[in-house]
């Protein structure tokens, strides 16, 4: 199980897109925690469910939980208050789980004998959760499960933040050399936009983009768009692969020494 756990952390850390991050988590997490049902739930800015991936439960269950269960979920309430993982035996007195409103309204009908939830956080706020359930005659979650889930959630939160804001996490001293406008251009280059597309997006001319890139290349000490993105993100292999997968969008404009 230790090998599987470290494999999961590595898979999360090396995901190159948010979709890949979610797929890797869903594919590998059950082996680490011995769960039969699991999911990842992401919230919008109003703290409501925006998207989810689940295995072992139906969309009908998710809808039922959002409509009825979420408001009475003591484990989720603990996670929201403390930004830390928890399971039912950690937050409820002995013998209270099967008398709780959540168990009676949602979990009993779906054979969820034990549950555990962990936080996904961003900018100091809860932006999602991971939720596990063990069914039937299975043991409850234990302190080691909580410790491992805490580590997984830290990795998930950091990776998701980096994928959504690639030039903000982790901090890179090279970014201090760029102006706010140059940062905008760098972000659009990382998304694979051409000079013309960047100019249209920022309401500037294509030539202005070209001249800005020349300055940026000198500041960052690179000679190509791919080098620049890789150096700013400090993720050369993933960024290079991403940009090279879109040859029409690379549009290299400068040779060394320009």
Reference 222, options 209, 212, 213; nearest CA is 213
Q: Are 203 and 58 in contact (CB under 8 A)?
A: no
Starting from the edge strand earliest in sequence, which strands make up the sheet with 49-55, in order? 49-55, 37-43, 125-135, 112-122, 86-87
Mark 145-182 as b/e (b = at least 16 C-beta within 10 Å): bbebbeebbbbbbbbbbbbeebbebeeeebeeebeeeb
- Those residues with Cβ within 8 angstroms of residue 163's Cβ, 6 or more apart along the chain or in another chain: 15, 16, 17, 18, 21
Residue whose structure tokens are 């791919």 = 226
pLDDT in tens, the chain (258 residues): 678 999 999 899 888 889 999 999 999 999 999 999 999 999 998 889 999 999 999 999 999 999 999 999 999 999 999 999 999 999 999 999 999 999 999 999 999 999 999 999 998 899 999 999 999 999 999 999 999 999 999 999 999 988 887 665 455 677 778 888 888 898 888 888 899 999 998 889 999 999 999 999 999 999 998 888 888 875 333 333 444 344 333 333 333 333
CATH topology for 173-250 is Arc Repressor Mutant, subunit A (1.10.10)
| 3-state DSSP assignment of residue 159 | helix
Residue matched to tokens 């703290």? 47
- pLDDT (0 to 100) of residue 111: 94
Q: How many CB atoms lie within 10 A of CB 32?
A: 20
Whole-prediction pTM value? 0.67
Distance CA 9, CA 25 (A): 9
Q: Quick one: pLDDT at residue 45? A: 87
User: Are the beta carbons of 21 and 156 closer than 8 angstroms?
Assistant: yes
Same fold, 2-164 and 173-250: no
What is the predicted pLDDT for the residue at 242?
40
- DSSP type of residue 67: I
98-113 in b/e burial notation, b at 16+ Cβ within 10 A? eebebbebbbeebebb
CATH assignment of 2-164, given 3.40.47.10, 3.40.50.2000, 3.30.360.10, 3.30.450.40?
A: 3.30.450.40
Q: Measure the CA–CA gap between 50 and 22, rounded to whole angstroms.
A: 14
Domain positions in the chain: 2-164, 173-250
CA 4 to chain centre: 20
């Amino acid at each position: 199980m230790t090998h599987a756990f470290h494999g999961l952390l590595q898979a999360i850390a090396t995901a190159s897109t948010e979709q890949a991050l979610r797929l890797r988590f869903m594919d590998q997490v059950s082996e680490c925690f011995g769960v039969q049902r699991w999911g990842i739930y992401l919230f919008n800015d109003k703290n409501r469910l925006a998207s989810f991936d689940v295995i072992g439960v139906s969309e009908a269950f998710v809808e039922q939980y959002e409509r009825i269960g979420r408001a009475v979920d003591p484990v989720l309430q603990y996670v929201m208050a403390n930004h830390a993982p928890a399971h039912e035996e950690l937050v409820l007195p002995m013998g209270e789980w099967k008398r709780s409103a959540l168990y009676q309204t949602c979990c009993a009908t779906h054979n969820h004998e034990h549950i555990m939830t962990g936080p996904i956080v961003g900018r100091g706020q809860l932006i999602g959760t991971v939720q596990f359930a063990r069914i039937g005659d299975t043991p409850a979650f234990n302190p080691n499960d909580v410790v491992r889930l805490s580590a997984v959630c830290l990795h998930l939160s950091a990776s998701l933040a980096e994928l959504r804001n690639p030039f903000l996490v982790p901090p890179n001293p090279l970014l201090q050399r760029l102006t706010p406008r140059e940062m905008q251009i760098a972000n659009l280059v990382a998304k694979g936009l051409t000079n013309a597309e960047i100019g249209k997006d920022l309401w500037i001319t294509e030539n202005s983009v070209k001249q800005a890139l020349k300055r940026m290349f000198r500041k960052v000490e690179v000679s190509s768009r791919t080098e620049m993105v890789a150096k700013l993100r400090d993720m050369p292999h993933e960024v290079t692969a991403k940009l090279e997968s879109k040859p029409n969008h690379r549009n290299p404009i400068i040779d060394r020494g320009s």
